[in-house]
């Protein structure tokens, strides 16, 4: 139920990031040596291998994965990712688990991030907030109401030809405080769901973050840093499991007592969500389709009537 928050916080809390200057050589060299792609923006010098970077299966693995999932290497978003992913230093975090909710419920929550935050807040007493920044809901920003906030782009949905909405790629910038460090920067995350029965989904999240130099890379590899990050991840997963389990067992009291969920559009979305939880199907993207259909119905239909002209027969002499 609160799975997207796992992604949101993981991106923010693991981001000891690279500098903000674009590294064209990282983009050009990685595209060339990992994907055999020659980008028009790149000179021959830009395509040269970076020092101390081995373009082996481990380094190029994320590039292969993005391409296999359908990311066009010539697209602007791909090139933005390559500028970070193509650098020498990176830290990878992987987390897996099981959530006691159906795949359709997860699809509904992914389709309604602002509603999801309100639902989670009702159960957990938190102050999460998500706001869509584009009509297609591919860009959004959010905060936990405190030390975490960021902006994100939903790069790929329904990637790799799998179940729609269950395999996704996100790219985001975030700001967070971990221990004594104020952190900010970029990360890319693969988030995959695997429904295995009508009441459970397994998940796997792989987040890749980009230290700017060897010092920051060393910090991110420190056991104390990893412990803090893993503790935060565990806390989020436990919150997900607790909220999901309470909802699945019929504990709707927090929802009924929440004043925000009694207001539009949340009260209508809550009704829809309860129907989905009861077995109604929902596929990621249905919300946008339904909204477009409603807008079409609201538009007035103008009918121009062309009068028919009947010629009277001439009178016989």
Q: Give every CB contact of residue 83 below 8 A, 6+ residues apart in sequence.
A: 22, 23, 24, 26, 27
Q: What distances in angstroms separate CA 74 from CA 82, 193, 208, 314, one per listed residue?
A: 11, 27, 21, 73
Peptide bond into 210 cis (omega under 30): no
- Is residue 51 helix, strand or coil? coil
Give the phi and the psi of residue 283 in degrees, each rounded to 5.
Answer: -120, 140
Q: What is the per-residue pLDDT for 199?
A: 86
Q: What is the per-residue pLDDT for 267?
A: 92
Domain limits of the chain? 3-14+90-275, 24-85
pLDDT top residue among 62 and 101: 62
Q: Give every CB contact of residue 144 below 8 A, 6+ residues apart in sequence.
A: 8, 9, 126, 127, 128
Q: What is the mean pLDDT of residues 93-119?
A: 87
Range from 87-96, 125-134, 167-176, 243-252 carrying the lowest mean pLDDT: 243-252
Percent of the chain with pLDDT over 70: 76
Q: 216 is written with which tokens?
A: 């920051």
pLDDT top residue among 2 and 251: 251
Q: What angle do CA 31, 172, 35 make, to 5 degrees?
A: 10
Q: What is the mean pLDDT of residues 3-26?
A: 54
pLDDT top residue among 169 and 184: 169
Q: What is the per-residue pLDDT for 310?
A: 35
Q: What is the mean pLDDT of residues 160-175?
A: 80
DSSP state, residue 260: G
User: Residue 18 pLDDT > 50, yes or no?
Assistant: no
Q: What is the mean pLDDT of residues 276-285?
A: 88
Q: What is the per-residue pLDDT for 308?
A: 38
Most confident of 81-85, 122-126, 240-244, 304-308: 81-85
Helices of type H across 102-143 = 103-111, 113-124
DSSP secondary structure string, 209-256? E--SSHHHHHHHHSHHHHHHHHHHHHHHHHHHHHHHHHHHTT--HHHH
Q: Give every CB contact of residue 13 below 8 A, 6+ residues apart in sequence.
A: 148, 176, 178, 183, 228, 229, 232, 233
Q: What distances in angstroms separate CA 112 from CA 91, 108, 204, 228, 295, one per listed residue?
A: 30, 6, 21, 30, 18
pTM as predicted: 0.81
Q: What is the per-residue pLDDT for 216?
A: 74
pLDDT class of 188 with cuts at 50, 70, 90: very high
Q: What is the mean pLDDT of residues 8-21?
A: 45
Q: What is the mean pLDDT of residues 60-68?
A: 96
171 vs 154: CA distance, rounded Å: 7
Question: What confidence tens digit (pLDDT) does each residue in 204-261 have?
Answer: 888 888 877 777 777 777 777 767 766 766 666 676 667 777 877 788 899 889 999 9
Q: What is the per-residue pLDDT for 198?
A: 85
Q: The tokens 């607790």 sit on which residue? A: 242
Contact 55, 33 (CB under 8 A): yes
| Chain mean pLDDT for the chain | 80
Q: What distances in angstroms separate CA 201 from CA 3, 7, 99, 100, 111, one per listed residue?
A: 11, 16, 5, 7, 17
Class assignment of domain 3-14+90-275? alpha beta
Q: What is the per-residue pLDDT for 152?
A: 92
181-197 and 91-99 beta bridge pairing:
unpaired
Q: What is the per-residue pLDDT for 179?
A: 63
Q: Angle 113-124/223-248 helices, nearest 10 degrees?
A: 90
pLDDT class of 36 with cuts at 50, 70, 90: very high
Question: What confidence tens digit (pLDDT) does each residue in 109-146 have?
Answer: 889 999 988 988 899 888 889 999 998 889 999 887 87
Q: What is the per-residue pLDDT for 53?
A: 94
């Amino acid at each position: 139920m609160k799975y997207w928050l796992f992604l949101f916080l993981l991106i923010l809390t693991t981001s000891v990031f690279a500098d903000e200057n674009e590294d064209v050589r990282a983009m050009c060299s990685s595209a060339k040596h990992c994907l055999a792609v020659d980008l028009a923006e790149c000179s021959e010098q830009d395509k040269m291998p970076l020092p101390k970077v081995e373009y082996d299966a481990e380094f190029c693995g994320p590039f292969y994965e993005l391409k296999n999932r359908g990311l066009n290497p010539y697209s602007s978003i791909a090139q933005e990712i390559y500028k970070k992913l193509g650098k020498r230093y990176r830290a990878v975090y992987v987390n897996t688990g099981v959530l006691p909710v159906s795949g359709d419920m997860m699809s509904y929550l992914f389709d309604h991030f602002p509603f999801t935050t309100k639902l989670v807040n009702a159960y957990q007493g938190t102050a999460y907030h998500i706001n869509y920044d584009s009509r297609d809901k591919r860009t959004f920003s959010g905060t936990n109401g405190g030390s975490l906030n960021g902006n994100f782009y939903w790069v790929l949905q329904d990637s790799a030809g799998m179940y729609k909405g269950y395999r996704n790629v996100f790219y985001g910038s975030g700001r967070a405080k971990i221990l004594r460090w104020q952190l900010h920067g970029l990360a890319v995350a693969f988030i995959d769901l695997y429904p295995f029965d009508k009441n459970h989904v397994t998940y796997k999240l792989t987040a890749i973050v980009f230290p700017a130099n060897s010092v920051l890379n060393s910090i991110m590899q420190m056991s104390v840093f990893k412990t803090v990050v893993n503790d935060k991840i565990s806390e989020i997963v436990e919150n997900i499991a607790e909220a999901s389990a309470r909802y699945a067992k019929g504990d709707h009291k927090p929802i009924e007592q929440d004043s925000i969920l009694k207001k539009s559009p949340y009260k209508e979305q809550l009704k829809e969500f309860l129907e989905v939880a009861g077995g109604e199907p929902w596929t990621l993207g249905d919300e946008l389709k339904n909204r477009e259909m409603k807008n079409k119905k609201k538009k007035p239909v103008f009918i121009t009537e062309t009068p028919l002209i009947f010629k009277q027969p001439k009178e016989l002499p």
